[in-house]
């Protein structure tokens, strides 16, 4: 009863405060709102609105980075020589363009923002911000408008660059943008940036459109013969050339053993895709491991408590590694990589730069879950799929979890009454029984791809359709060992033994030897092929398992993410002004810390009202709630909350735990989950408060259980 009354009281209080705030905001244009507001949430929400119309310049940054580059990252990129559109620019601008060369737009924006904080009319930084937001038209348009204003008094070359960007308002019109770049390259032949960016845009346009260039040699020469410093060539040109020649066995004029020595993950990922398409899976696996390590190295160098999804492509890169290991029959390793991703902290609503640069499906949790389900289904590991979808790494995925449970139950000859009414699952049972019509498309089930349908058709005796699906799988995953094995098995079943023997060569058998011991070890179709080829009963080649190339330049960094410990000497003040240290508070077990901007902030009141009714649920689960306010101790009692509230009026704790905007020089909203050992398992820091108490309770339990 007490909880219900208190929750109702808090709800009424927030309604009154928000009504007053709404009346104020309604009469004030977003562009005119002073930054003296207690909270910037309304401006952030405006900045995140979809649409094409540029937003007011100051507010656009509230949906962007709030922390300067770490000193370590600055030092690491200081030595990188990168071509610039404007010689003699701020070193931070040079680092920003180095990040753009490494396809790291999120970090590039951070560099340009730092330069702009020191020089508000820095045209080079504004120019970089337009390029960093090339695919986000609203942000690009805002930065371009400001750059054009700043360039009015600049030199003719600078104005020409801004004009090149201004052809259609943003670089979205590829034809005009490429033509403008070509004119700049002709006008400034000594400026390596122009030729580099022209080559980059042509290559990326080819990749986006899927069009085939009449000749790639001209573009390749443009990329290689620019007179740019050697370090920039390694960082920028090598990945572009790999994209240009994707699918070819090797780069023209380059030794196959050349790999990028880059601090950025994207060049490694591009190298991996090039090596995979060229039929060198071990090189591709090594490059993907390097991409993951580069992401983790960046996280390790960051101050504060960066969550894994702060790395631009960690989820996508690690999921690609898991799938490639699966393709090579190294299923145990593949499952381990995917499970590691699934168990990382997850934020489904991550605002700001966390999700702005990628598809939500590429976040670590979702990417790992999708890859894990696909691998388990593809290799028929039904017991693991059932367990994972019930209360493991694949649980709580909505309808997907139910369908995974249903598929696993059918294969284990068990009933699944809670999902058996699902129409797609009913069709799946029909396919399992071999009763699907010749023209009937397979059911739409998460994780079930062409490889699985080929396997299912082999099990039901439909070798003709199995061959069709296996060939589709090979087109989607060129040089996949698993897909090739499926095709050979289907050909053998169809009596096309001679055709199958062409693929059953020494290289194929060596790759099978490197796979898991039980992967196709006793397959009767492959045994029949071995007999037809006159091979011994144990027909796999006994060569040692292949590894990465000799002298492979694996970047330094950790192999997995670990939660950091919060500083033990962090001190809060209770309502009486008595100081208490964080490590003392943690003796009672894990805690959720909510940092809010005082009782005068209506958006903070919204968060407190969302969590107050759940306080008993958190306590029962062994995770205590507490709040940290910017108010002095004497005002803490005004909050009247069912969990302890502490003061940090001097903002020392806000700063030390990273709940602070270094550009705006003001505290932010922050929600942290800290386990009993003092490790920050989950963190969300933004100008908007975190409101989903139900999600955070589940996530806190999941993460603190991992120990």
Q: Is residue 42 part of a domain?
A: yes
Collapsed DSSP state (helix, strand, coil) of residue 76: helix
Contact 323, 375 (CB under 8 A): yes
Q: What value does the mean pLDDT take over residues 375-395?
A: 95
Task: State yes or no: pLDDT of 303 exceeds 90.
Answer: no
Q: Is residue 196 part of a domain?
A: yes
The mean predicted confidence, pLDDT, of the chain is 84
Find the domain containing 10 and state its range: 1-48+563-707
pLDDT at 15: 42
Contact 195, 84 (CB under 8 A): no
pLDDT at 345: 94
Residue 1: CATH number of its domain: 3.40.30.10
Do 91 and 213 sit in the same domain of this protein? Answer: yes
Query: In the Cβ-directed half-sphere of 280, how many Cα atoms lie within 13 Å?
Result: 21
Predicted model pTM:
0.91
Do 100 and 13 sit in the same domain of this protein? Answer: no
Q: Is residue 669 part of a domain?
A: yes
Phi (first) and psi of residue 514, to 5 degrees: -85, -10
State the angle between helix axes of 481-493 and 463-476 in degrees (0 to 180), rounded to the nearest 10: 160
Q: Is residue 697 part of a domain?
A: yes
**pLDDT digits over 237-269, tens only?**
888 888 999 888 888 765 555 777 788 899 999
Do 617 and 694 sit in the same domain of this protein? Answer: yes
Q: For the chain, how long is the longest CA-to-CA vector?
A: 88
pLDDT at 11: 43
Q: What value does the mean pLDDT take over residues 218-229?
A: 73
Return the DSSP state at 665: T
**pLDDT digits over 326-350, tens only?**
999 999 999 999 999 999 998 877 6
Do 190 and 227 sit in the same domain of this protein? Answer: yes
Q: Which two tokens stand for residue 185?
A: 């390259």
* End residue of a domain, out of 220, 244, 268: 244
**pLDDT digits over 483-507, tens only?**
999 999 999 999 999 999 999 998 8
Range in 58-67, 144-153, 369-378, 519-528 the model is least confident about: 58-67
Q: Is residue 258 part of a domain?
A: no
Do 101 and 4 sit in the same domain of this protein? Answer: no
Task: State yes or no: pLDDT of 129 exceeds 80.
Answer: yes
**pLDDT digits over 655-676, tens only?**
999 999 998 889 999 999 999 8
- CA of 128: how far to CAs of 123, 422, 435, 669, in Å? 9, 50, 58, 29
Q: Is residue 147 part of a domain?
A: yes
Cα gap 144→127, rounded to integer Å: 7
pLDDT at 28: 33
If one counts the domains in the chain, the total is: 2
pLDDT at 157: 85
Cα gap 270→290, rounded to integer Å: 11
Q: Is residue 281 part of a domain?
A: no
**pLDDT digits over 594-652, tens only?**
999 998 888 889 999 999 999 999 999 999 999 999 999 999 988 889 999 999 999 99
Do 191 and 230 sit in the same domain of this protein? Answer: yes
Residue 233: CATH number of its domain: 1.25.40
Cα gap 185→178, rounded to integer Å: 10
* End residue of a domain, out of 224, 244, 264: 244
Do 595 and 687 sit in the same domain of this protein? Answer: yes
pLDDT at 16: 35
pLDDT at 30: 35
Q: Identify the residue with better confidence: 697 or 255.
A: 697
Do 13 and 90 sit in the same domain of this protein? Answer: no
- CA of 113: how far to CAs of 108, 165, 519, in Å? 9, 19, 51
Do 570 and 642 sit in the same domain of this protein? Answer: yes
Percent of the chain with pLDDT over 90: 46
Do 653 and 579 sit in the same domain of this protein? Answer: yes
Do 584 and 674 sit in the same domain of this protein? Answer: yes
* End residue of a domain, out of 197, 217, 244: 244
- CA of 355: how far to CAs of 97, 295, 348, 363, in Å? 21, 15, 9, 8
Collapsed DSSP state (helix, strand, coil) of residue 623: coil
End-to-end CA distance of the chain: 35
Do 75 and 116 sit in the same domain of this protein? Answer: yes
pLDDT at 4: 43
Contact 499, 534 (CB under 8 A): no
Q: Is residue 148 part of a domain?
A: yes
């Amino acid at each position: 009863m007490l909880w219900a009354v208190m929750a109702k009281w808090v709800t009424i209080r927030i309604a009154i405060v928000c009504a007053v705030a709404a009346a104020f905001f309604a009469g004030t244009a977003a562009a005119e709102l002073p930054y003296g507001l207690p909270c910037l949430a309304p401006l952030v929400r405006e900045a995140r609105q979809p649409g094409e119309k540029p937003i007011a310049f100051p507010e656009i940054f509230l949906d962007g980075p709030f922390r300067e580059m770490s000193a370590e990252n600055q030092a690491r990129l200081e030595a990188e020589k990168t071509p610039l559109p404007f010689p003699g620019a701020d070193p931070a601008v040079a680092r920003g363009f180095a990040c753009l060369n490494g396809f790291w737009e999120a970090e590039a924006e951070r560099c340009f923002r730092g330069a702009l904080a020191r020089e508000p009319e820095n045209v080079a930084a504004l120019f970089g911000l337009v390029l960093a937001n090339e695919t986000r038209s609203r942000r690009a348009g805002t930065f371009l408008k400001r750059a054009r204003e700043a360039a009015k008094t600049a030199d003719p070359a600078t104005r020409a660059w801004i004009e090149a960007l201004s052809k259609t308002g943003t670089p979205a019109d590829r034809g005009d943008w490429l033509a403008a770049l070509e004119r700049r390259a002709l006008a400034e032949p000594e400026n390596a940036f122009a030729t580099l960016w022209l080559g980059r845009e042509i290559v990326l346009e080819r990749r986006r459109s899927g069009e085939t260039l009449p000749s790639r040699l001209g573009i390749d020469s443009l990329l290689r013969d620019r007179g740019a410093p050697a370090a920039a060539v390694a960082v920028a040109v090598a990945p572009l050339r790999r994209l240009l020649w994707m699918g070819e066995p090797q780069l023209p004029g380059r030794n196959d053993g050349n790999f990028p020595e880059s601090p950025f993950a994207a060049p490694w990922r591009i190298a991996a895709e090039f090596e995979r398409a060229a039929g060198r899976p071990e090189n591709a696996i090594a490059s993907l491991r390097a991409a993951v390590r580069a992401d983790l190295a960046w996280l390790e160098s960051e101050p504060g408590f960066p969550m894994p999804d702060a790395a631009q492509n960690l989820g996508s890169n690690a999921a690609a590694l898991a799938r490639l290991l699966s393709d090579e029959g190294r299923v145990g390793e593949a499952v381990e990589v995917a499970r590691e991703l699934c168990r990382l902290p997850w934020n489904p609503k991550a605002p700001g730069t966390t999700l702005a640069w990628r598809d939500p499906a590429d976040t670590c949790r979702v990417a790992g879950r999708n890859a894990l389900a696909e691998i388990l289904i593809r290799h028929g590991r039904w017991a693991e799929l059932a367990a994972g979808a019930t209360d493991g790494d694949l649980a709580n995925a909505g309808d997907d979890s139910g369908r995974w449970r249903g598929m696993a139950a059918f294969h284990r000859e068990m009933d699944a009454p809670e999902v058996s009414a699902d129409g797609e699952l009913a069709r799946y049972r029909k396919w399992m029984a071999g009763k699907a019509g010749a023209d009937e498309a397979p059911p739409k089930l998460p994780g079930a791809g062409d490889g699985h349908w080929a396997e299912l058709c082999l099990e039901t005796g439909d070798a003709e359709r199995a061959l069709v699906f296996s060939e589709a799988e090979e087109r989607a995953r060129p040089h996949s060992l698993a897909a090739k094995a499926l095709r050979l098995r289907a050909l053998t079943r169809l009596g096309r033994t001679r055709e199958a023997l062409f693929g059953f060569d020494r290289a194929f058998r060596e790759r099978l030897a490197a796979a898991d011991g039980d992967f196709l070890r006793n397959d009767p179709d492959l045994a029949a092929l071995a007999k037809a080829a006159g091979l011994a009963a144990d027909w796999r080649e006994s060569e040692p398992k292949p590894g990465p190339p000799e002298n492979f330049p694996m970047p330094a960094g950790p192999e997995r993410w670990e939660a950091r410990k919060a500083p033990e000497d962090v001190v809060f003040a209770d309502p009486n002004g008595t100081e208490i240290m964080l490590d003392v508070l943690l003796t009672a077990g894990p805690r959720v810390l909510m940092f809010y901007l005082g009782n005068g902030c209506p958006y903070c009141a919204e968060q407190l009202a969302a969590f107050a009714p759940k306080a008993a649920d958190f306590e029962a689960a062994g995770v205590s709630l507490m709040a940290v306010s910017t108010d002095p101790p004497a005002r803490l009692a005004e909050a009247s909350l069912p969990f302890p509230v502490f003061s940090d009026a001097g903002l020392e704790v806000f700063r030390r735990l990273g709940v602070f905007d270094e550009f705006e020089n003001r505290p932010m909203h922050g929600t942290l989950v800290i386990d009993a050992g003092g490790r920050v398992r989950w963190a969300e820091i933004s100008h908007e408060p975190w409101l989903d108490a139900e999600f955070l309770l589940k996530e806190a339990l999941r993460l603190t259980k991992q120990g």
